[in-house]
A and B are shown apart, each in its own frame.
Chain A
Amino acid sequence: MMLETFKSEVLPLKNRLFRFAYSILGDHDLSKDVVQETMLKVWEKRNDLLTIQNLEAWCMTLTRNFALDKMRSKHHKTMALIENFDKENNERSPYQLAELGNTLEVIDKIVGNLPLKQNETFQLRDIEGFSYQEISEITGYNINDVKVNIFRARKTIRTNLLKLNSYGLEKSKNAS
């Protein structure tokens, strides 16, 4: 791979890679480091790129691996996400949700508190628009697992949003 190809095909992926790393780490600087490491790795492996079918998915896999390594080595705060792998119910009370801020911030918090599997599969599908097959390749989970985790993530977010919505309606009724 020539430098020009790297500039036109790999560098433009930086923000997608960053968003994915950030969804795992929740830290701007660490996520930036992860993207940097990914880019350098791609450059290092530039001669092997002909054998890679989906460059974008491969870059995502590298980003995921670097982010998980960072998370483990630094005992990052999101380590809690791994511990909560089987945590099914992270619903909050409408009052707690309303305390978190505006709706977009609330969704951000809910997504941030999802178990790791749900978080990354949701991020890859609903934010980055990858197919189930690609998500399976990136994460190493089987397709059914990917589908189930996305479904659960969406369900958790929706349930919390509906609660928040009904709480808001109730509040406005009481006020009038």
Chain B
Amino acid sequence: MDSKKVKTRLKKYWEGKSNLNEENELKSHFLHAPDGADPDHEYFTYLNKKSTQNPLDDQFDDEILKLIDKNKQSRKLKNNVIKYWYVAASLALVISVSIIFKDKFIKVNKVENVVEMDTYKDPDKAFEETKRALLLLSSKLNQSSVYAAQFSKFEEHQNNLKQN
């Protein structure tokens, strides 16, 4: 780039009117220009130096890749733990459901067994047994009515005493 063109580009640059290509041309010009003490030269030397500074090396890449690997493993572990939790929860559910069903089934069976024990297959025998049970019940009721009559007598006397 000739000096006239450089001057024009610099003017545009400092006025904030240059585009990226023109700015890159200026940087490239000063990168290859012989050393100078003018402020523009020093300024563009600074820009060139700064834009090529590489403080992070391959060791940084290794660190990142290790961290990614660690991240992967911990995620795997986390996923496995979640899977185990799912399995444990499902097992617990199955066990509790089976226990509930088993209890209900046993109760029903017990009731059925009682009914079967008390059922007479012979209707005559069943009739006789029912009759016997009812007679027993009525005799007990008669006994209680005697006691009840005594109570009513007691109440009658009590009322008489109160009136006197």
Q: Which residues on A are within 8 Å of B, measured CB to CB?
A: 3, 6-7, 11, 14-15, 18-19, 22, 28, 32, 35-36, 39-40, 43-44, 103-104, 107-108, 125-129, 131, 147, 150-151, 154-155, 157-158, 161-162, 164-165, 168
Contacts and interface: CB of A to CB of B under 8 A. Distances in A.
Which of under 10, 10 to 19, 20 to 34, or 35 or more describes the interface residues of B? 20 to 34
A128 to B, nearest CB: 7
Interface string B15-57: 1100010011000000000000111001101110111011110
A155 B16 CA distance: 9
A28 B121 CA distance: 99
B16 A151 contact: yes
Interface of B: 13-16, 20, 23-24, 37-39, 42-43, 45-47, 49-51, 53-56, 60-61, 63-65, 67-68, 71
12 contacts: A3-B68, A7-B61, A32-B60, A36-B63, A43-B68, A44-B71, A104-B49, A151-B15, A151-B16, A158-B39, A161-B39, A161-B42
Nearest to A126: B47
Given A14-B61, A151-B16, A43 B53 contact: no
B13 to A, nearest CB: 8
Given A126-B23, A128-B51, A129-B20, A43 B71 contact: yes
B24 A107 contact: no
Contacts of A126: 23, 47
A15 B16 contact: no
Nearest to A15: B54
Contacts of B38: 165
B20 A35 contact: no
A139 B56 CA distance: 24
A150 B42 CA distance: 18
Contact of B56 (A18, A103, A104, A164): A18
Contact of B46 (A107, A125, A155): A107
Nearest to B75: A44
Q: Which 6 residue pairs are nearest across A and B when measured between Cβ atoms?
A: A151-B16, A161-B39, A15-B54, A107-B46, A103-B42, A14-B56
A5 B43 CA distance: 37
A107 B43 contact: yes
Nearest to B49: A104
Contacts of A147: 16
A36 B65 CA distance: 10
Given A104-B46, A126-B23, 15 more contacts: A3-B65, A14-B61, A19-B50, A28-B55, A107-B43, A107-B46, A108-B46, A127-B51, A129-B20, A129-B23, A154-B13, A158-B14, A164-B39, A165-B38, A165-B39
